[in-house]
Structure 1
């Protein structure tokens, strides 16, 4: 099975992703403001909610090392491709790696759409109870974010069962909630991800992975304060969850798509030489 994209096409698509990366380096004033209320929020948040956040931190560490309860089934994503079977039998990740980019994009877009809808419903549901259902909503958001990134990884032919891919996934999660300095640093890390040396460096950096979850939580900021209002929290919860999962999915698509494009360009250069 061979790919059909020309070098010019790949260069054009890479430029679009690089433009998106530049846009992501900006940080709106309201995003900075949104991080401030958590000093107050920690004081008014019930102990059982804080304990739930602590549990999530442990779960995220477990995910990085073993996959934990968050690993998705590869077959679930592979079934979404039009190519149900190949000459060798059932579709594999290796087969996906050689599909045209537009087929990968179609599957990834479908994943993004379905997961944002699910997050919207969940946010509205937990918004009914205000602060008392916030302890349910936070772990749900972490879980669905990790799963959508894994499914997008598979849709571009990468295996989240590989620990280095789980490191990449957590970096993507961290990217969505970082400030302008953090986004720039993470993009520099991810741009060199293909090298073994960089993989080891990133794994080492994530020894401090607890800050990932705190940064991710702080991204909710004042928006989560509104979700604590019973009934009115339905609207805020639905909107926040939808935008959060949508941002995570977009980040995953862009960064995994970039890796696939760069790999194909390198393969073409190797063949030419």
Structure 2
């Protein structure tokens, strides 16, 4: 095991992640009321917008089964690690053996890059108010999935694996859940690390209701997206909203994947001691 990753060091890192999980006290007051403005949106939004959102949700549903158009390329992530490690022959399976600090640094850089892209998109679609909402919501869903996939690769996991796509969707659900939902998902994902196929199959069964996952994700825009519907002023709101959304998703994804990798490194250390 790398000299900076003794069992004690990994346990300290695990404490950091667990503290973050304990600090997830639910949503801000205005986020708890997030569903209310969407009741208004549903009444005033043109049917064309509803149709496009529904189409995007259908595409994301297929992501669980086969990745579809939302399956990201691993090349860019591997290239970042290649530059950092000066190893031109590095492949995804090698990343899991790297120090946690390198995984954290690369994943942090990717989240920062994605935040800038989301911020630009939010400002652009904010110009047209609710008329461009049909473009922004599918975009933010798509970039959220790609960000989480890239984070997965950063910690040595392959999003080509359907089980990883399930984990990614659960990370996405975690961000938009209330405190009760967050606790339930944290418990599910802690079991995910165990090689218990029955538990994984149960998680897959729960994801058959993936539309609810994506609906709650959409509803989490709530009041924030309501302000973005104001033409021109929506530029500022759209930029801030998308940036903060990806920041939240990036933080959750990094923490949840860090925990998995830390636990696996600890387990690998125990195995090597036997």
**Alpha-carbon contact 1:145-1:245 (below 8 Å) kept:** yes
**Alpha-carbon contact 1:25-1:184 (below 8 Å) kept:** no
Q: Which residue of 2 aligns with 1:267?
A: 268
CA deviations over 1:47-66 (Å, ceiling 9, x no partner): 11111111111111111000
Q: Which residue of 1 aligns with 2:41?
A: 41
Following superposition, the deviation at residue 26 of structure 1 comes to 2.7
Alignment TM-score, normalising by the size of structure 2: 0.95
Distance 1:123 1:249 in 2: 17
Correspondences of 1:232-271 after superposition (within 5 Å)? 232-271=233-272
| Residues 1:84 and 1:75: Cα distance change in structure 2 (over 3 Å) | farther
Distance 1:197 1:92 in 2: 30
Following superposition, the deviation at residue 114 of structure 1 comes to 0.3
Structure 2 residue matching 1:80: 3-state secondary structure: helix
RMSD: 1.1
Q: Which residue of 2 aligns with 1:76?
A: 76
Q: Which residue of 2 aligns with 1:149?
A: 148
Q: Which residue of 2 aligns with 1:199?
A: 200
Distance 1:41 1:179 in 2: 22
Alignment of 1:32 with 2:32, yes or no, is yes
Q: Which residue of 1 aligns with 2:87?
A: 85
Following superposition, the deviation at residue 84 of structure 1 comes to 4.5
**Alpha-carbon contact 2:36-2:222 (below 8 Å) kept:** yes
Following superposition, the deviation at residue 124 of structure 1 comes to 0.4
Correspondences of 1:80-119 after superposition (within 5 Å)? 80-81=80-81, 82-85=84-87, 90-119=89-118
Following superposition, the deviation at residue 218 of structure 1 comes to 0.5
Following superposition, the deviation at residue 201 of structure 1 comes to 1.2
* Runs of 4+ that moved beyond 3 A: none
Distance 2:228 2:46 in 1: 15
Structure 2 residue matching 1:192: 3-state secondary structure: helix
Number of matched pairs: 269
CA deviations over 1:211-237 (Å, ceiling 9, x no partner): 011000010001111101100000100
